[in-house]
Chains A and B, each alone.
Chain A
Amino acid sequence: MQTFDLGSEGLRALNAALHALKGQTNMTSWEVVNPRGAHAIAAGVDAPVDITVRGSTGYYCAGMNKLATIRVKGSVGPGVAENMMSGTVIIDGDASQYAGATGRGGLLVIKGNASSRCGISMKGIDIVVHGSIGHMSAFMAQSGNLVVLGDAGEALGDSLYEARIFVRGKVKSLGADCIEKEMRDEHFAALEELLRRGEADAKARPEEFRRYGSARKLYNFNIDNASAY
Chain B
Amino acid sequence: MCGIVGLFLKDPKLEPKLGAMLADMLITMTDRGPDSAGIAIYSGARDGIGKITVQSADPGRDFRNLDADLHDAIGQPVLMLEKSTHAVLEVPIGQLEAARTAISHLRPAIKIMSVGDSIEIFKEVGLPKDVAARFAVSKMKGTHGIGHTRMATESAVTTMGAHPFSTGSDQCLVHNGSLSNHNAVRRELRRHGMTFETENDTEVAAAFISHKLSEGQSLGSAMEATLTDLDGFFTFVVGTRNGFGVVRDPIACKPAVMAETDAYVAFGSEYRALVNLPGIEEARVWEPEPATVYFWER
Contacts and interface: CB of A to CB of B under 8 A. Distances in A.
Is chain B found bound to chain A in the same assembly?
A: yes
Interface of A: 36-38, 56-59, 75, 77-78, 94, 96-97, 115-116, 134-135
Given A77-B255, A78-B255, A116-B252, A94 B275 contact: no
Contacts, number: 43
Contacts of B273: 37
B270 A37 contact: yes
22 contacts: A36-B272, A36-B275, A37-B271, A56-B271, A56-B285, A58-B271, A58-B272, A75-B271, A75-B285, A77-B255, A77-B257, A77-B270, A78-B255, A94-B287, A96-B255, A96-B287, A97-B253, A115-B252, A116-B252, A116-B253, A134-B290, A135-B290
Nearest to A112: B286
Contacts of A97: 252-253, 255
B271 A94 contact: no
* B interface, over-half SS: loop
Interface string B248-292: 001111010100000000000011111100000000011101100
The 8 closest A-B pairs by CB, nearest first: A37-B272, A37-B271, A36-B275, A115-B287, A56-B271, A37-B275, A58-B270, A58-B272
B45 to A, nearest CB: 35
Contacts of A38: 272
Contacts of B274: 37
B209 to A, nearest CB: 25
Nearest to B276: A36
Query: Interface residue tally of chain B, by bracket?
Result: 10 to 19
- Looking at chain A's contact residues, the main secondary structure is loop
Contacts of A115: 252, 287
Contacts of A96: 255, 257, 287
Given A115-B287, A116-B290, A77 B252 contact: no
A77 B290 contact: no
Contacts of B255: 77-78, 96-97
A96 B258 CA distance: 12
Interface string B15-48: 0000000000000000000000000000000000
A107 B216 CA distance: 52
Interface centre among A56, A75, A78 (most CB of B within 10 A): A56
Contacts of A59: 270
Contacts of B285: 56, 75
Contacts of A116: 251-253, 290
Contacts of A57: 271
Given A77-B255, A77-B257, 14 more contacts: A37-B270, A37-B275, A38-B272, A57-B271, A58-B270, A75-B271, A77-B271, A78-B255, A94-B286, A94-B287, A97-B253, A134-B289, A134-B290, A135-B250
B58 to A, nearest CB: 41
A115 B252 CA distance: 10
Contacts of A94: 286-287
A78 B272 CA distance: 13
A116 B289 CA distance: 9
Choose among B271, B274, B286, B290 the residue with the greatest number of A CB atoms under 10 Å from its CB.
Answer: B271
A56 to B, nearest CB: 5
B287 to A, nearest CB: 5
A115 B290 CA distance: 10
A80 B226 CA distance: 31
A97 B289 CA distance: 11
A38 B270 CA distance: 9
Contacts of A77: 255, 257, 270-271
Interface string B180-198: 0000000000000000000
A5 B250 CA distance: 38
Contacts of B275: 36-37
A63 to B, nearest CB: 16
A134 B255 CA distance: 14
Contacts of B289: 134
Nearest to B288: A115
